[in-house]
Chain A
Amino acid sequence: MKKIFFLLFIISTLVSCKKDILDITPTDRLSETAIWTDATLPQLFVNAQYNTLQHGFNNDVQYYGDETYSKFDDGGYQIIGLNQINPSNVDQISPRFNYWKTGYNSIRNFNIFFSKIDGTPLTPENKKALAAEVEFLRAFVYAQLIWNYGGVPIVEKVYNLNEELTGLKRNSYDECISYIIKDLDDAIAGLPDQQTGANAGRASADAARALKARVLLYYASPQNNPTNDKSRWQQVSDAALSLINSNRYTLSDNYHNLFIGGDNKEAIFSRYFSTDNSQQIGKLFAPIGSGGNGYAQPSQNLVDAYEMTNGVIPVIDGVTNPDPANTYNPANPYINRDPRFYANVLYNGASYKGRAIETFNGGADFFGPDATATGYYNYKFLDQNQVVSGTTPYTYPWHFFRLAEIYLIYAEASYNLGKEADAREYINKVRQRTGVNMPPVTATGTALFDHLVHERQIELAFEGHRFYDTRRWKIAPQVDAKPITGVQVVKNGNGTFSFNRLELLKRVWNDRLYLIPLSFQQVQASAGSLVQNPGYN
């Protein structure tokens, strides 16, 4: 019996030591209470939200439009060009454009923030400043959603399980604009004009002003302003002027350096990188002869658009401009061009890393399946002093907004408000900046508008504007129906080169392509409350 007693003792000992064996405080995560009762952690939560902003070093924004070509169909842009996109395959395209899921995940986080921030031990000033940061981010997310999809549902609650999740309807574009503008006005009121020092890269009032200018620009444009409501242009003009008149920014005098970490007095809002949080553009875009992947290859469409130094556009729709002032020589096409051409494009014979680029048949940059199909490599965003490799941490920032864009926005607003002199002035400020010094634009009327279109194409190339610009101006039915072209460079026996134009992507335009479709699954999941975009049913 004694032994049995002992055994029972053992059992009871074992049982007693199990006490709370299942009650484990996890060591791999933090509780909700821990975050929102802390004075520091809410800021960390906000820090993470910045990642929702889509910078252009993800090797995809460059493709959408007619600026570049990639034979891998990186980012899925070809299916838009070929009018193969539909609700069933929209998930194949880059999340910068098919931003629905990313955007709404962020919106839920913003709503969590707003539902919790009042209960935190932060000072009222800190709360206000943090809230203003989040308002800016929220405005940016909604802006990106409406630019791609048109009006989208505005969600202001934190959804949880076990509640009605379906049935939400899309808000109109106008309603979204009001919502975005309110957020931006609040952000402007709550944030310093500029974020400096350790905070550089955080939302600032100027960043909000710049975003506001762009949002209003799209809102005033023909795509979204069919009655050409002039007051909208006035709002654009005001928003742009608030930045221009601040005199806090000046145009960079080195157009190439601006994009590889040079002085950023032109930049209004940027995404920074560090060695442990770097980007890879320096490897992805570099020519293959230097070990790059040659991802974004400038198209002939863009190359043709770079003016001769005397201001004449050399080639229009693949045909040499008959203008007698045109000095273009098809046998030597890369001389005497707008300096921004040399800052952005590596062409056959261009100097790069102490050698000449060889995109000709058999050259060092022609060899292999990843070689350029257009005959060009991208040079914007490439720092030729840095090693091209998969492990090099490229850290130069991406500029979401810079002064030149604001000038061009102001010029466009001025044009639409009938102030052509202002429009010309600001276009010319951009093209005549130090180091570019192109002849001034003197045109009037629609010719001036064409210059504006052209100036944005050149100045803002590869920065993610062109795709939206052709749509908002409603020139996409013409521009986006043109094939993406390239050039085959052939080295002749005598050492000269011949340039044969190639059609790389025969694009098909359809008016439904003004907007990205909602995914089929999302329309179904809403139980019919989400209305699909026109032409995709």
Chain B
Amino acid sequence: MTKIYKFYGILSFLLIMSAFMLTSSKAYAQNLKISGTVKDETGNTLPGVSVLLKGTNNGVTTDANGIFTLNAPSGSTLTLSYIGFQTKEVKIVGIENLNITLSANSKTLNDVVVVGYGTQTKSTVTNAITKVTAKDISASPSAHLGAGLAGRISGVTINARGGEPGAEQVEVFIRGKSTTGDANPLYVIDGIVRDYSGFSYINPNEIESISVLKDASAAIYGARAANGVVLITTKRGVGGKPVVTVDYDHGLSQQMRIPESADAATFATMANLEQRIKGQPEPYTAQDIELYRNGSDPLNHPNTNWSKLIFKDWSVQDRADVSVNGGSKDVRYFVSGGYLSANSPFKESYTYNKQYSFRSNIDFDVNKDLKLSLDVSGRRRDVVTSHFDWAHIYLGVPTLNGIYPNGLVGPGRTGNNAVLMARDRDYGFNDTKNNTFFGTLSGDYKIPGVNGLSVQGNFAFDSDDSYNKNWVGVTYYYVLNPTTGEYVKTQNSNAAFPSLGVSSPKSTALTTNIKLSYKRTFLEKHTIDAFVGYEQNSTTGYNLYAGRTNYASAALEEIFAGSSDKQNQSNDGSSATTGRENFFGRAQYGFMNRYNIQFQFRYDGSQNFPKGKRYGFFPGVSGNWNISNEPFMKDVSFVDNLKLRASYGELGNDKVGAYQYLTSYTYGSNYVFNGNTAQGLVQTGAPNPNITWEVAKTTDFGLEFGLFKGLLNAEVDYFRTTRSNILASRNASVPEYTGLVLPNENIGQVKNHGIEINLTHNNRIGNDFRYSFSGNFTYAKNTIVFQDELPDLPQWQKAEGKPIGSPLLYEYTGIFRDAAQVASTPHRDGSGPGDLIIRDVNNDGIINSLDGVRQNYGSTPQIVYGLNFRFNYKDFELFLGFQGQAKSMGQRFNPYPYDPIGWGDFPTYLSQDVWSPENPGGTKPKPGLSSALGLSGTTYNWESSAFLKLKTAEFSYTLPASLLAKAGIRKTRVYLSGSNLFFLHDNFKPYNLDPELTNAGWGYSQNRIINIGASLSF
């Protein structure tokens, strides 16, 4: 039934919208012939500027020389718009030859800001909302939108935790974290919630602007908005003659840092030391070590640098985009297509990452009252990755042959040769073909008869499907027989026969909303801008899986080619559905744009919760005082803008697994009887019938000012948010003898407060040199007010009072010199000379769990800042963007025991001044630390992850328009850009680790990209 209703609803919506289309438009008086020339601030003529007679659909665009002519009645107004420039209105008085200058879009007072379910001008905004424009986005050559924005948006903490092409892991937190649960913001693309994956892979060239809702302004998104909202708006047609823009980028990329491991001689020395300490024979002779060092016997004494063997110095990344922007009287369009290709980071490898995308945003002015838009966009991602295992690089023993001097692949570690993993597709690969489609039909109808009343509606259909292949084939390596000198081809024991798994997950989402808006100014003083709306959303997901083993041959990597024996076949499938619905609204009243007050709400329902706990009311209230618009400020000429604002809102967070209120069971945990698998059934966990959303109460005070015509613009915010009912499980305090698999409960409480400062300075020296500087600084300190913890925990261990995610660690104070010192010092059970000395925090003479200390910082930085410089000299521009963070910690060594004999290689750092019987004063622990006495879990393994780096740089040259005009080219810009160029400061250099990684280098670091590109418009 529901389906039919839905279909009927959509159908009626479409029918009525089309009925409106049939209404005819009026004819206009045409009495004067107007002509003019449009230039930018530096005097260059601007071709392609849209010139529209205000209130009509009559318009033209400027020609190659920036000249336009049109007929218009006297006293009418022309609206001039052009991408990257402020829209300007010019009143016609008599026949004129107009000279019009458009200013670039940097002065933002009358800038349009996208807010939830609408737009506002910058000066009427009552909330803390940061806007990022296309120009800011395009400077970075990073393929991942989020990774490119780090350090650019005040109040937003962005950390790239992994840089694998096509699988970047970018963390985005607005004002840090305010919950121990899921702290990810909500992502909305063109008015529709499209969440993280939609955001991750969107083509940066399609984006017009990004707005970040940081305070109560997010309340319009209700139960999902507590972590803030990122609104992405794509480019739209501005009308006029088609402008074709072609962008091409060619970049070289490399991992910014690859953790370094000891070379063969160092490894052998340390392996000997480990054995000597344990009283066991040393595996390497002095002669061996010398041969490893001097490299004169590469066959028997290799010095294998596994990462050098595996990774290219540079891999290639290409991007190409074409877009067309234009329109006629009634239709405006922006269409674009993009291509991204990043090739393998591995030497001689087969892996790749390709992405194809398109977008078509079309606006139809059906008549003067009805506007319809159809946005469709699609993306194809084609990613092939290997079954690469980092362990075999960083633990990779350097005294083994990865590749023999004659070029044959060696066995590596028990057949797990990292060279095969990276280069031979038969070692195993994942091939993902992912298609994403976003489609939105929207209408905006001005209701005739009631001035200012309109109705808007959106219908969005999103679909995502993937085809994932996971193939494992048979690989071979060679083993040198030392007696015969023969290289024996040996099958790798990774797999005995080929096997294939294919999964095909699909999901669709339908979002429908409709809203009734009223916007009008009375008596030129009182402005009212209000709406109410209704939205519903449903998603469905399906997955099918098939697997085959025992392929007779690797010739065809397809399911049908697999074994026909049912024993070697497997299949699986599943589906899931979600639903949401809500009402929302906003009303803003403004008095002469001096005072604005706004109220907004959302009444939201989430299926994650049981009946009676589903619906919540999320209000937000805010206001501003534009002091600079007061009459008494008229004479204060150095103040361009001065504004105070304040907001308060209540928001929710429902990002937890659904149905936790039910006692439910699922198939699984099969068991075998008599050689046949019997199905099992397991309870999914204890139910929590009271589960509901987290509640955030957030307050914000902001001050904005602009002085001396751009010499100083500032925005300062103080914010405070308390999050209660945080969804977490009581794993710490509930004894395991209850056997409970705990659901989320609304038990946590966190407060977060801080300040954000954003300063910009624009200036011009002479006519040719302009520069701007902007700095943003965010301090967001979260403190856990309540979290489930063990009862009677000593004060120094409580998470309460500490930031989210601060680890509990033993505090290392030194290295035991000798047995006497061990005997006289509290130590962990079994410690000996060369082990870590741990601080006996409670002075009870025993080192046990009570001596762990909750640290002051976690991996999410409390301070993030960015410094951005832009210099323009004539047609040259240099942009430098620095990203920094402070007050955070990261792990510096890999998670495996530090044990050359058992586990393998280690960072060279650990061998420098290592403790040994001969060097009892050594500052590094002995090799061969047992799992109970290892580095992990101690402060020895942690380091401040503060850093400052040159995140983005771009040097560009725009060819003079006069030169190009004759060739029909409007604009040509060539540039050299870079991403993640170098650190100015950080503590992870000794281990060559990227401080932003949270896995101690166990994975791809961010990429350093050097890029050359050109952008051409004609």
> Which residues in A have some Cβ–Cβ distance to B below 8 Å?
1, 3-4, 6-7, 9-11, 13-24, 26-32, 34-35, 41, 44-45, 47-48, 50-51, 71-73, 76, 78-79, 82-89, 92, 100-101, 104-109, 111-112, 152-153, 155, 159-161, 165-166, 168, 195, 197-202, 271-277, 283, 286, 288, 290-294, 362, 364, 367-370, 387-393, 395, 488, 500, 502-504, 506, 508, 520-522, 524-527, 530
With A24-B579, A32-B663, A272-B675 in contact, do A525 and B830 touch (Cβ < 8 Å)?
Answer: no
User: Which chain A residues lie closer than 8 Å to B614 at the CB level?
Assistant: 22
Q: Closest 7 interchain pairs by CB?
A: A108-B739, A291-B493, A48-B680, A17-B5, A84-B830, A389-B496, A48-B669
B830 partner, pick from A83, A100, A276, beta carbons under 8 A: A83
Cβ contact within 8 Å between A13 and B493:
no
Query: What CA separation (Å) do A525 and B732 show in the bound complex?
Result: 7
Query: What CA separation (Å) do A50 and B671 show in the bound complex?
Result: 7
Cβ contact within 8 Å between B671 and A277:
yes
Q: Is B792 engaged at the interface, CB distance under 8 Å to the other chain?
A: yes
Please name 7 further chain A to chain B contacts, defined as beta carbons within 8 Å, in addition to the given A7-B447, A161-B745, A525-B732, sorted by A numbering.
Answer: A47-B678, A79-B931, A84-B828, A195-B673, A291-B414, A291-B415, A369-B397
Cβ contact within 8 Å between B516 and A7:
yes
Q: Is B6 engaged at the interface, CB distance under 8 Å to the other chain?
A: yes
Query: What CA separation (Å) do A17 and B9 show in the bound complex?
Result: 7
Cβ contact within 8 Å between B672 and A76:
no
Cβ contact within 8 Å between B665 and A29:
yes
Cβ contact within 8 Å between A26 and B664:
yes
- Nearest chain B residue, comparing its CB with the CB of A158: B739
Q: Is B632 engaged at the interface, CB distance under 8 Å to the other chain?
A: no
User: Which chain A residues lie closer than 8 Å to B576 at the CB level?
Assistant: 26-28
How many Cβ-Cβ contacts under 8 Å join chain A to chain B?
Answer: 345
A368 partner, pick from B400, B455, B538, B830, beta carbons under 8 A: B400
Q: Which of B38-78 contact A (CB under 8 A)?
A: none
Cβ contact within 8 Å between B739 and A109:
yes
With A22-B607, A50-B671 in contact, do A15 and B493 touch (Cβ < 8 Å)?
Answer: no
Query: What CA separation (Å) do A71 and B42 show in the bound complex?
Result: 73
- Nearest chain B residue, comparing its CB with the CB of A42: B681
User: Could you tell me the distance in whole angstroms from the C-beta of A526 to the nearest C-beta in chain B?
Assistant: 5
Query: What CA separation (Å) do A508 and B831 show in the bound complex?
Result: 12
Q: List, sorted by A's number, 17 A–B pairs whose CB atoms are closer than 8 Å.
A: A9-B12, A16-B9, A28-B576, A29-B662, A29-B664, A31-B665, A73-B897, A82-B830, A109-B682, A159-B739, A273-B672, A291-B493, A369-B400, A387-B496, A388-B496, A391-B549, A525-B790
Cβ contact within 8 Å between B829 and A86:
yes
Cβ contact within 8 Å between B673 and A71:
no
B932 partner, pick from A3, A85, A503, beta carbons under 8 A: A85
Query: What CA separation (Å) do A111 and B737 show in the bound complex?
Result: 12
With A3-B448, A21-B581, A369-B901 in contact, do A293 and B737 touch (Cβ < 8 Å)?
Answer: no
Cβ contact within 8 Å between A26 and B791:
no
Cβ contact within 8 Å between B492 and A291:
yes
User: Which chain B residues lie closer than 8 Å to A275 at the CB level?
Assistant: 549, 567-568
User: Which chain B residues lie closer than 8 Å to A286 at the CB level?
Assistant: 493
B904 partner, pick from A79, A369, A392, beta carbons under 8 A: A369
Q: Is B514 engaged at the interface, CB distance under 8 Å to the other chain?
A: yes
Query: What CA separation (Å) do A3 and B493 show in the bound complex?
Result: 73
With A82-B930, A109-B739, A504-B280 in contact, do A18 and B536 touch (Cβ < 8 Å)?
Answer: yes
User: Which chain B residues lie closer than 8 Å to A155 at the CB level?
Assistant: 737-739
A14 partner, pick from B516, B534, B829, B902, beta carbons under 8 A: B534
Q: Is B633 engaged at the interface, CB distance under 8 Å to the other chain?
A: no
Q: Which of B733-769 contact A (CB under 8 A)?
A: 733-743, 745
With A14-B514, A31-B662 in contact, do A165 and B738 touch (Cβ < 8 Å)?
Answer: yes
Q: Is B891 engaged at the interface, CB distance under 8 Å to the other chain?
A: no
Q: Is B933 engaged at the interface, CB distance under 8 Å to the other chain?
A: yes
Cβ contact within 8 Å between B737 and A30:
no
Cβ contact within 8 Å between A288 and B739:
no
A391 partner, pick from B495, B658, B662, B849, beta carbons under 8 A: B495
Cβ contact within 8 Å between A16 and B607:
no
Cβ contact within 8 Å between A84 and B829:
yes
Flag the segment in B319-327, B683-691, B978-986 that touches A: B683-691
- Nearest chain B residue, comparing its CB with the CB of A526: B735
Cβ contact within 8 Å between A291 and B491:
yes
B688 partner, pick from A1, A161, A395, beta carbons under 8 A: A161
With A7-B455, A198-B673, A201-B673 in contact, do A14 and B493 touch (Cβ < 8 Å)?
Answer: no
Query: What CA separation (Å) do A367 and B411 show in the bound complex?
Result: 10
User: Could you tell me the distance in whole angstroms from the C-beta of A213 to the nearest C-beta in chain B?
Assistant: 23
User: Which chain A residues lie closer than 8 Å to B680 at the CB level?
Assistant: 44-45, 47-48, 51
- Nearest chain B residue, comparing its CB with the CB of A286: B493
Cβ contact within 8 Å between A165 and B16:
no
User: Which chain B residues lie closer than 8 Å to A153 at the CB level?
Assistant: 737
Query: What CA separation (Å) do A57 and B8 show in the bound complex?
Result: 60
Query: What CA separation (Å) do A197 and B676 show in the bound complex?
Result: 10
Cβ contact within 8 Å between A520 and B849:
yes
Cβ contact within 8 Å between B736 and A522:
yes
Cβ contact within 8 Å between B414 and A524:
no
Cβ contact within 8 Å between B665 and A32:
yes
User: Could you tell me the distance in whole angstroms from the C-beta of B517 to the nearest C-beta in chain A?
Assistant: 12
Cβ contact within 8 Å between B665 and A45:
yes
Cβ contact within 8 Å between A16 and B5:
yes
Cβ contact within 8 Å between B673 and A503:
no
User: Could you tell me the distance in whole angstroms from the C-beta of B566 to the nearest C-beta in chain A?
Assistant: 10
User: Which chain A residues lie closer than 8 Å to B671 at the CB level?
Assistant: 47-48, 50-51, 201, 277
Q: Is B666 engaged at the interface, CB distance under 8 Å to the other chain?
A: yes
B849 partner, pick from A83, A87, A152, beta carbons under 8 A: A87
User: Could you tell me the distance in whole angstroms from the C-beta of A175 to the nearest C-beta in chain B?
Assistant: 15
B414 partner, pick from A78, A168, A277, A288, beta carbons under 8 A: A288
Q: Which of B473-517 contact A (CB under 8 A)?
A: 479, 482, 490-497, 499, 512, 514, 516
- Nearest chain A residue, comparing its CB with the CB of B549: A391
Query: What CA separation (Å) do A29 and B660 show in the bound complex?
Result: 11
A277 partner, pick from B447, B549, B580, B672, beta carbons under 8 A: B672
User: Could you tell me the distance in whole angstroms from the C-beta of B977 to the nearest C-beta in chain A?
Assistant: 44
- Nearest chain B residue, comparing its CB with the CB of A12: B9
User: Which chain A residues lie closer than 8 Å to B668 at the CB level?
Assistant: 48
Query: What CA separation (Å) do A3 and B453 show in the bound complex?
Result: 12
Cβ contact within 8 Å between B672 and A272:
yes
Which of A4, A271, A362: most chain B Cβ within 10 A?
A4
User: Could you tell me the distance in whole angstroms from the C-beta of B651 to the nearest C-beta in chain A?
Assistant: 19
Cβ contact within 8 Å between A200 and B681:
no
User: Could you tell me the distance in whole angstroms from the C-beta of A153 to the nearest C-beta in chain B?
Assistant: 5
Query: What CA separation (Å) do A280 and B1002 show in the bound complex?
Result: 26
